[in-house]
């Protein structure tokens, strides 16, 4: 969601949440999604000038016992929270990129069968953008309810309503799962990083 003209990130978030509350949505606590970027350690690249690989280690408060490891253009591994400890032991292979931590946190809203999360995306102390996640509870095949999701999104996002997420790809009839959500957050975080021109890692 772009920041409204002449408004700050926080003011735009407040405008969105006010619209949701006017629709009749009720607050249902808070949420947080965070992401730390790791790059392949220089010692593992060899001398052929290979490009380093990026791995994103993510957490989502909706899945408190899980940790998600997403590879750039690759699979998503879902592990338990001890995965963070494993990353410390793998520092000879993967190193944490400096100042790479990015997160979104905000309020959860329930509106009938819709769960809406509006968050402020931050890197370090500064707000960098806005995230909006919408989930339609009764349906697990995203393509079956995309037109309904779109109509609901238009009710409070207006002209800023997005197109279908790239994660759907050729999986139109596939069951939607937590990994699909995390891939979309990773894409959003990378888009915000690029807009801010912050390097994701020292080795590319």
Could you read off the pLDDT of 68-109 as tens digits, one per residue?
Answer: 999 877 788 999 988 888 888 887 788 787 777 899 999 999
Instruction: Give the single-character DSSP code of 45.
Output: S
Higher pLDDT, 177 or 164: 177
Q: What is the pLDDT of residue 199?
A: 47
Q: Give the DSSP per-residue string, 134-169.
A: EEETT-SBHHHHHHHHHHHHHHHHGGG-----TTTT
Percent of the chain with pLDDT over 90: 40
Q: What is the pLDDT of residue 158?
A: 84
Structure tokens at 66: 């899980």
Helix (H) or strand (E) holding 16: helix 9-23
Higher pLDDT, 149 or 40: 149
CB-based contact 116:136 (threshold 8 Å): no
Helix (H, G, I), strand (E, B) or coil at 29: strand
Q: What is the pLDDT of residue 51?
A: 62
Task: Give yes or no for residue 2 having a pLDDT over 60.
Answer: yes
Determine the Cα–Cα distance for residues 16 and 26; give it in Å rounded to an integer.
13
Q: What is the pLDDT of residue 201?
A: 44
pLDDT-derived band of residue 189, with 50, 70 and 90 as boundaries? Answer: very high
Terminal-residue alpha carbon distance, the chain: 28
Write b or e for each residue in 122-140: b if 16 or more Cβ atoms lie within 10 A of its Cβ, otherwise e: bbeeeebbbbbbbbbeeee
When mean pLDDT is compared over 27-36, 46-55, 144-153, the highest value belongs to 27-36
Higher pLDDT, 53 or 64: 64
Conformational region of residue 181, where left means phi above 0, alpha means psi within -120 to 50, and beta covers everything else: alpha
Task: Give yes or no for residue 198 having a pLDDT over 50.
Answer: no
Q: What is the pLDDT of residue 59?
A: 95
Number of residues that make up the chain: 204
Task: Give yes or no for residue 117 having a pLDDT over 50.
Answer: yes
């Amino acid at each position: 969601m772009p920041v409204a003209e002449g408004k700050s990130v926080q003011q735009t978030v407040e405008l969105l949440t006010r619209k949701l509350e006017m629709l009749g949505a009720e607050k249902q606590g808070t949420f947080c999604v965070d992401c730390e970027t790791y790059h392949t350690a220089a010692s593992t690249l060899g001398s052929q000038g290979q490009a380093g690989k990026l791995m994103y280690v993510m957490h989502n408060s909706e899945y408190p016992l899980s940790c998600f490891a997403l590879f750039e253009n690759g699979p998503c591994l879902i592990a338990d929270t001890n995965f963070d400890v494993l990353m410390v032991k793998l520092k000879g292979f993967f190193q944490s990129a400096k100042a790479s931590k990015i997160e979104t946190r905000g309020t959860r809203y329930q509106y009938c069968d819709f769960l809406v999360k509006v968050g402020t995306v931050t890197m370090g102390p500064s707000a960098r953008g806005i995230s909006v996640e919408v989930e339609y509870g009764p349906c697990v095949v995203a393509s079956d309810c995309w037109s309904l999701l779109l109509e609901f999104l238009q009710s409070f996002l207006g002209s800023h309503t997005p197109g279908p997420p790239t994660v759907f790809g050729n999986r139109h009839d596939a069951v939607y799962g937590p990994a699909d959500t995390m891939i979309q957050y990773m894409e959003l975080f990378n888009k915000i990083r690029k807009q801010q021109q912050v390097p994701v890692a020292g080795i590319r």
